[in-house]
Amino acid sequence: MPKLAVISLGCAKNLVDTEIILAQLVAANWELTDDFSEAELILVNTCGFIETAKQESINRILEMAEYKEPQNGVCQKLVVAGCLVQRYAQELATELTEVDYWIGLGEIGQITEIINYEARVGQAALASTPFLNEVGLPRLQVTLPHVAYVKIAEGCSHRCAYCAIPLIKGEYRSRSLESILTETATLVAAGVKEINLIAQDLTLYGHDLRPKQNLNQLITGILTEAQPAWLRLLYLYPSGVNLELLEQIATESRICKYLDLPIQHLNQRLLKLMNRLDPPELILEQLALIRRTVPEIVLRSTMIVGFPSETEAEFEELLQFVKTAPFEHLGVFEYSREEDTPAFAYQSQINSEIKAERRQRLMLVQQKNSAVFLSSFLGKEISVLVDRSLPAGKAIGRTAWLAPESDGVVCLENYHGKAGEFVTVRVTGNDSYNLQAEMIDLEK
């Protein structure tokens, strides 16, 4: 069997697309390998969201092209897919002649037909509506066997001034409830314990369907039909989080007491410039409602520093907000100037040194917040899902309030079981982002 190797860059939504592509190729008798030198087909699924991601994608494409040289490998087909292709198809095809096939977001479901159609070689994919897995194409899971992401929608109808996602993926489009329930049930039946729902904004789910659906109905359906041990909600706009959803989270033990709420800033002028629809007053009200309704909730957010014209005083306002209304987890990004977005033309662009310095200052505040939060668990017993079993009785796991990839981990001692198991452990220590714990002898 011919062999293929893959690099999947960017977000979890990209990873889901990669898994769908791989399943098609394996069904067409390609064998997956992690040794790029022996792969006859190499797939790079790219990210085109911000400048650093675009540059990483270009670098990895060029790196993989080296395996087409006889002294380095046996690659015959270099396939590039994903957001970078969707955004810059013609430019890429002109500049990167090493690539054999370009796959747009609308062509994810036709990968085998494309690579078998020789007339397509070297041509860039035409822009098209991004693929939604309504037909239930299988996935070859490349995450941990007990963890999966489920994409419930594609695109975005918000128009944040800095964001290229609507340019790349178009308007928000929800998948049908039936297709999501079928996929989650299949994943759980195959051994998945943790389902992570993902979209640009989960709270918009179903508003475009006929008849209309909503996130609460979807959650109820998944818990009833698929019955995962953990269900996690990633990426919700604060204004879309309603009382019904919060009460559902508070009363259902299988829903992780964890929400990811991208806020980006708290200064009113900058939020308006960003075209963020949630004003500071609403953000604060929603945070209070969330913590009041679900007292044990753990919140993650993202912030942008160095947005055009951001003053030192406005940054200090954000800094104080993070100090006084701490998030348990926080990601901080330096503003990336993206062509064809409204913010690209804004005056008073902030230089890179100031952006980096502000990010560092905000992350130092978050480092302290996170350490204080984690230290509150010292000596306590917590439930952990084991992700990896390591030699010498060690293991890596997570609690329900630690999301895969983006948050810290629990480092276990005296564990001799398998990955994918739930265990009760006692916390023995912590650093800024991770916990240390030991197994509890339940027989004592």
Close Cβ partners of 57 (under 8 Å, ≥ 6 residues apart): 9, 44, 46, 47, 48, 82, 84
Angstrom distance (rounded) from CA 132 to CA 175: 7
pLDDT of residue 120: 53
Cα atoms in the 13 Å half-sphere on the side-chain side of 418: 4
What confidence category does residue 89 fall into, taking pLDDT thresholds of 50, 70 and 90?
Answer: confident
pLDDT of residue 440: 86
Residues 23-74 have pLDDT tens digits of 999 999 999 999 999 999 999 999 998 899 999 999 999 999 999 999 999 9
Asked if the model's pLDDT at residue 328 lies above 90, the reply is yes
Which domains, ranges and CATH numbers included, belong to the chain?
3-120 (3.40.50.12160), 147-375 (3.80.30.20), 381-439 (2.40.50.140)
Q: Which two tokens stand for residue 14?
A: 């990209």
What confidence category does residue 393 fall into, taking pLDDT thresholds of 50, 70 and 90?
Answer: very high
Average pLDDT over residues 142-164: 95
What confidence category does residue 118 fall into, taking pLDDT thresholds of 50, 70 and 90?
Answer: low
The counts of H helices and E strands in the chain are 12, 18
Residues 212-263 have pLDDT tens digits of 999 999 999 999 999 999 999 999 999 999 999 999 999 999 999 999 999 9
Residues 275-319 have pLDDT tens digits of 998 999 999 999 999 999 999 999 999 999 999 999 999 999 999
For residue 66, count other CB atoms closer than 10 A to its CB: 14
- Minimum mean pLDDT among 116-125, 223-232, 420-429: which range? 116-125
Asked if the model's pLDDT at residue 325 lies above 90, the reply is no
- Rg of the chain over all Cα atoms, to the nearest angstrom: 23
Asked if the model's pLDDT at residue 441 lies above 80, the reply is no
How far CA 43 is from CA of 5, 61, 65, 111, 322, in Å, comes to: 6, 9, 11, 11, 40
Asked if the model's pLDDT at residue 129 lies above 90, the reply is no
pLDDT of residue 49: 87
Asked if the model's pLDDT at residue 339 lies above 60, the reply is yes
Asked if the model's pLDDT at residue 369 lies above 70, the reply is yes
Kindly write down the DSSP assignment for every residue of 154-166, as one continuous string: ES-----TT--HH
pLDDT of residue 444: 39
Looking at the DSSP bridge assignments, the partners of residue 230 are: 194
Helix (H) / strand (E) element for 353: namely: helix 352-375
Average pLDDT, the chain: 94
Asked if the model's pLDDT at residue 128 lies above 70, the reply is no
Encode 372-424 in three state secondary structure: HHHHCCCCCEEEEEEEEEECCCEEEEECCCCCCCCCCCEEEECCCCCCCCEEE
Quick one: CA torsion of 109, 94, 77, 112, rounded to 10 degrees?
A: 20
Q: Which two tokens stand for residue 310?
A: 């951001």
Asked if the model's pLDDT at residue 395 lies above 90, the reply is yes
- Find tokens 């005296």 and name the residue: 414
How far CA 384 is from CA of 137, 184, 196, in Å, comes to: 32, 22, 16
Cα atoms in the 13 Å half-sphere on the side-chain side of 322: 32
Angstrom distance (rounded) from CA 292 to CA 18: 39
Q: Are 256 and 401 in contact (CB under 8 A)?
A: yes
What confidence category does residue 340 fall into, taking pLDDT thresholds of 50, 70 and 90?
Answer: very high
What confidence category does residue 326 fall into, taking pLDDT thresholds of 50, 70 and 90?
Answer: confident
Q: Are 149 and 16 in contact (CB under 8 A)?
A: yes
What confidence category does residue 126 fall into, taking pLDDT thresholds of 50, 70 and 90?
Answer: low
What's phi and psi for 388, nearest 5 deg? -145, 135
Q: Which two tokens stand for residue 25?
A: 């190729």
